[in-house]
Amino acid sequence: MIRSDILKELAPTIAEHLVVCNIGLPSQELHLIDDRATNFYMLGTMGLASSIGLGLALAQDKKVISIDGDGSVLTNFGTLPTIANNVADNFILLIIDNGSYGSTGDQPTYAGRKTSLAAVAEACGCENVVECRAEDTVQAVKDAIASDKMTIIVSKCESGNIKVPVITMDPVTIRDRFMGAVKA
């Protein structure tokens, strides 16, 4: 399974929740599969999906799912201790770990080699860390939603991309629509 397969399977499970989606192909794929006002698409700023999601979760009560990648978490490694030490039980960080920088041509990441993001998250103090196979991602997210506990999920999948169009929606429109959904 590649990332887009996971997103397709996952879409109905996350549809009712606030989703902050990582820059590049993940956002483009989610936008193509199931565009919703509850999705915040990142058009730039690699690495900050987890930070935006945590800030959002701390600021209000609705559940927030940040869909991140292994490469992006490596870019913003400082996020894991911040998450661990600022517990928001309405926050789920889903790291889709395909061991590569998918949006830039599938260059390998260190997460695909010796570095375990799940082990790093635990070492940073995150209390509910789940590593799962791509096939088990939907169940892991369902469990995390049901647990009402801040959870970090590392979903190990294969690298690979599908052809998707870029998002042409204006960023202010994305933000305004999303904020409307947050308030609703």
DSSP 158: B
* Phi, psi of 66, deg, nearest 5: -95, 125
DSSP 70: H
- Figure out which of the listed residues 119, 123, 166, 179 binds other proteins, where binding follows CB under 8 A: 179
Q: Tell me how far apart the alpha carbons of residues 50 and 157 are, in angstroms, rounded to a whole number.
A: 19
Minimum CB separation of residue 91 from other proteins in Å reads: 10
Q: Judged by CB under 5 A, does residue 98 bind Mg ion?
A: yes
Number of residues this chain uses to bind Mg ion (CB under 5 A): 5
Q: In 85-98, which positions are buried (b, 16+ CB within 10 angstroms) versus exposed (e)?
A: eebbebbbbbbbbb
Q: Which does 57 bind (CB under 5 to 8 A by kind): Mg ion, other proteins, none?
A: other proteins
Q: What DSSP letter does each residue of 19-43 carry, written as one string?
A: EEE-TTHHHHHHHHHH--TTEEE--
- Figure out which of the listed residues 13, 76, 116, 128 binds other proteins, where binding follows CB under 8 A: 76
- Figure out which of the listed residues 7, 48, 92, 157 binds other proteins, where binding follows CB under 8 A: 48
Site residues for Mg ion, 23-82, by CB under 5 A, read 69-71
Q: For Mg ion, which stretch binds (CB under 5 A), given 35-43, 82-90, 96-104, 167-175?
A: 96-104
